[in-house]
Amino acid sequence: SESVLIVGAGHAAGEMAVALRVNQYVGDITIAGDEPHLPYQRPPLSKAFLSGEISHERLHVKAPATYDNANIRCLPNTRVTAIDRVAKTVTTADGRTLGYGKLVLATGGRPRLLTLPDERIHQAPNLHYLRTIGHVDALREQFVAGNRLVIIGGGYIGLEVAAVARKKGIDVTVLEAMPRVLQRVTAPELSEFYARVHTEAGVKILVNTALTGFEFDAAGKITTVLAGDGLKIPADVVIVGIGLIPNVELAEAAGLAIDNGIAVDEYGRTSDPDILAIGDCSSHPSAYAGRRIRLESVPSALEQARSAAALLVGQLKPYNAVPWFWSDQYDLKLQMVGLNQGYDTVVLRGSPAARNFLALYLKDGALLAADSVSRPQEFMVAKKLVGDRIKVDPAVLADETKPLKDLLA
């Protein structure tokens, strides 16, 4: 009989399992995930869940009863360790064998670890990464007013944590090795804006400052962060946000094609037609980018899951959305669409000083990407305009008397 086994119980997995039933898929559906939880949302881990504004229950991707009602079998605490593509089975860490008709790899990624050659780092009770509920739970008691927090990495996660920490009255220093925060994802104008917002909120941002090591007390706890040319920063707690490593090892060991992620086509198929991959672990051909890309974002995980669920009921719905992403820091809602690499012109619409503006990126006269700070309506329009790669006069984009929506075809 038909069956789907989904490995990993994250955002993509929860969405896919339910989408299969919505599409009238009648075979068995199993989700095997190594965490002790039903599929949950990670974005709040550095936002409302970290701040304590929302509880565990609010993190579910689907209400827990949904899985029972839809006859979806969830196997928490189940780590898949090997795939046998000939027998069409997988092996679990506790020695079980599970069969599949179609296998879906939704294994996400894991935090990139510090690589300093000091073993004590990995045992320090006050050094944390941020990818799972377990990570936040481990951090909780140390994430309190009066503590001195050092964040390694000025990317989204680092800056979101900084914002929550300041609201809680925690002393915050951000170490960034590159010349500016958010360097890998946005333009200097946006980096400068966010650096200013954080500085005004009391965050100490140190750019061009590489981590060089730590000092520990006798119990193995970090007391001081060492950085740059002899900088010593006292620390009660350290949070590291230096990127993600996609979990491809399972696929790689099974001989599937890997290309900065488990390589899939626009329907989610790997190099084995009975195995699909979705979400952060996968790389897909992007018509928008003109090359294969791997995204780490909820919208793409969801859309890839829906496209893969359609495929398994015989419908071809290629995944070819323009990438988009959001980040919440303080009262600011950042939304980004497209990839701005290679832009030649950036236009600001609105006012960074008023904390309300768009940055629009053009290449050869066509709109390539857009970042929106607290302008959700205009962002919706910008998403369409970027998708259409409209050709537009930069002066028109900057002119707030001309509604963006007038540019829609």
Residues in the site for ligand FAD, rule: CB under 6 A?
7-13, 32-35, 42-43, 45-46, 79-80, 106-109, 130-131, 157, 247, 250, 279-280, 296-299, 301, 325-327
Q: How far is the CB of 159 from ligand FAD (least distance, A)?
A: 11
Q: What is the smallest separation between the CB atom of 348 and ligand FAD, expressed in angstroms?
A: 23
Residue 327 or 372: which CB sits closer to ligand FAD? 327
Instruction: State how far the Cα of 377 lies from the Cα of 368, in Å rounded to an integer.
Output: 19
Our CB check for ligand FAD shows the closer of 174 and 298 to be 298
At closest approach, how far in Å is the CB of 381 from ligand FAD? 20
Of 206, 163, 203, which is closest to residue 181 (Cα–Cα)? 206
Query: Reduced to 3 states, what is the DSSP secondary structure of residue 166?
Result: helix
Among residues 37 and 120, whose Cβ is nearest to ligand FAD? 37
Q: Could you tell me whether strands 171-175 and 148-152 are parallel, antiparallel, or unpaired per DSSP bridges? A: parallel
304 φ/ψ angles, rounded to the nearest 5 degrees = -65, -40
What gap in Å lies between CA 40 and CA 16, rounded to an integer? 13
> Please, what is the minimum distance in Å from the beta carbon of residue 17 to ligand FAD?
11
User: Of the two residues 51 and 297, which places its CB atom closer to ligand FAD in the complex?
Assistant: 297
Nearer to ligand FAD, 190 or 397 (CB): 190
Residue closest to 312 by CA, chosen among 71, 87, 30, 104 = 104
Instruction: Give whole-number Cα distances, 384 to 296, 372, 404, 405, in Å.
Output: 21, 14, 11, 9
Strand partners, 336: 325, 371
Closer to ligand FAD by Cβ: residue 143 or 347: 143
CB of 62 to ligand FAD, least distance (A): 13
DSSP β-bridge partners for residue 5? 30, 103
Min CB(250)–ligand FAD separation in Å? 5
Q: Could you give the CA distance from residue 324 to residue 69 in angstroms, rounded to a whole number? A: 32
